[in-house]
Amino acid sequence: MGSKVGKHCSLRAINPVSDPELISLADGVHLGDFSRIIPGYYASNGYISGKINVQDNSVVGSHALILPGSVLEQDVILGALSVAPMDSVLQTGGVFVGSTIPVMVKNTIHSFDDRIEEMDVKYKKVLGNLAANFAGSTLKVGSRYFHRIGAAGKGFIKFYDQIPNLPDHLIFSGGKQYPIIMRHSNCLSSDDDARLDPRGAAIRILSNDPKEKSPLLDLILKTGNAFHARTIGDFAAWLVCGAAAREEHVKHAAHIRDAMWGSLRQTESYTVLHYYSNICRLFRFNNGQEMYVKFKLRPFDTKFGEDT
């Protein structure tokens, strides 16, 4: 009906449009659940309208709103429940959140590492919509969605003097010691600590310099031996589908059932639980060598020595 829509778009917006000829969507655009494009509307001073241009590979989060005259340049992410105001231009590569005046919280074209920032377009769409849904859920409940209540403590982490086959690293290096803060928490069951629920452990490694306020590293760990989802698409599908769909899904993917059951914490002490990290981190060592690493946290056992 006059609108222009490019190739490989994912359109989940469901609002009626009064002037479709004013809408232009380029290739690879993703409109999240319940997002709205408004090229024209009636106000007290009459009918207001303007062209809306969403350029290549831009992502519009859930419940976001695009008003007349606005332009989303290439590779823009408009966050969940955020607004692109009238006649605004959201700059290339920006991640924008906010309502009255959107604030750029990041610009993906000024990346620290191009290999990390340059992600597959399909992956970027799923991740953008997932982040938008998490943000919307957080705003709805008025607090963090997962792991709202936990128990924390302070301590220290100390590394062996020598670790075979591990080059010298800025943080993980032989003989170093750092103060840490560690937090244990249930996933969704809030303050009911007796329920079966995946548990998380967060370790914040702090600098030995008391003037340094930023942590050196945050490690996010989960109970169990492995994460149930092998791809971001699997995780997103599992998160939004109901119990019946999940039961059908595990019939064809037994590893998901086993991994999910293994992640459910029984009512044991924190000190007997095993944790793992479900993402890889890229380590760059002082000699230029690189290595992908995952972390595990397990109860202390004297039979595991420095050479293990």
The DSSP string of 190-205 is: TT-TTS-EEEEEEEEE
159 and 91 together in one domain: no
Asked whether residue 121 carries a pLDDT value surpassing 80, the answer given is no
Asked whether residue 240 carries a pLDDT value surpassing 80, the answer given is no
Is the residue at 306 inside a domain?
Answer: no
266 and 284 together in one domain: yes
Is the residue at 305 inside a domain?
Answer: no
178 and 265 together in one domain: yes
Mind listing the pLDDT tens digit for each residue in 266-275?
666 666 778 8
136 and 159 together in one domain: no
Is the residue at 27 inside a domain?
Answer: yes
Mean of pLDDT values over 118-125: 69
**Cα(192)–Cα(215) distance, integer angstroms:** 30
Single-letter amino acid, residue 56: D
62 and 80 together in one domain: yes
Is the residue at 275 inside a domain?
Answer: yes
The domain tally of the chain equals: 2
189 and 222 together in one domain: yes
- Tokens representing 149? 């209540």
More confident residue, 303 or 118: 303
The predicted pLDDT at position 115 comes to 47
Residue 294 CA: distances (Å) to CA of 19, 77, 219, 225, 297: 51, 29, 10, 12, 10
159 and 289 together in one domain: yes
pLDDT over 70 percentage in the chain: 80
247 and 266 together in one domain: yes
Mind listing the pLDDT tens digit for each residue in 270-298?
667 788 887 788 888 989 899 888 888 88
Query: Mean pLDDT for the chain?
Result: 81
Asked whether residue 51 carries a pLDDT value surpassing 80, the answer given is yes
Neighbours of 120 (CB within 10 A): 10
Asked whether residue 223 carries a pLDDT value surpassing 70, the answer given is yes
**Cα(243)–Cα(223) distance, integer angstroms:** 21
Instruction: Give the end of a domain, one of 141, 171, 206.
Output: 141
The predicted pLDDT at position 178 comes to 96
Instruction: Give the end of a domain, one of 119, 141, 163.
Output: 141
**pTM of this structure:** 0.53
Of 121-135, 194-208, 223-237, which range is least confident?
Answer: 121-135
Mean of pLDDT values over 210-229: 83
* CATH code, domain carrying 264: 2.40.180.10
pLDDT over 90 percentage in the chain: 23
**Which range marks the domain in which residue 87 is found?**
4-141
Mind listing the pLDDT tens digit for each residue in 150-194?
888 999 999 888 878 888 888 988 889 999 999 988 877 666 666
Instruction: Give the end of a domain, one of 112, 141, 170.
Output: 141
136 and 154 together in one domain: no
222 and 99 together in one domain: no
Is the residue at 304 inside a domain?
Answer: no
Q: For the chain, give the longest Cα–Cα distance.
A: 78
Is the residue at 303 inside a domain?
Answer: no
Is the residue at 302 inside a domain?
Answer: no
More confident residue, 219 or 130: 219
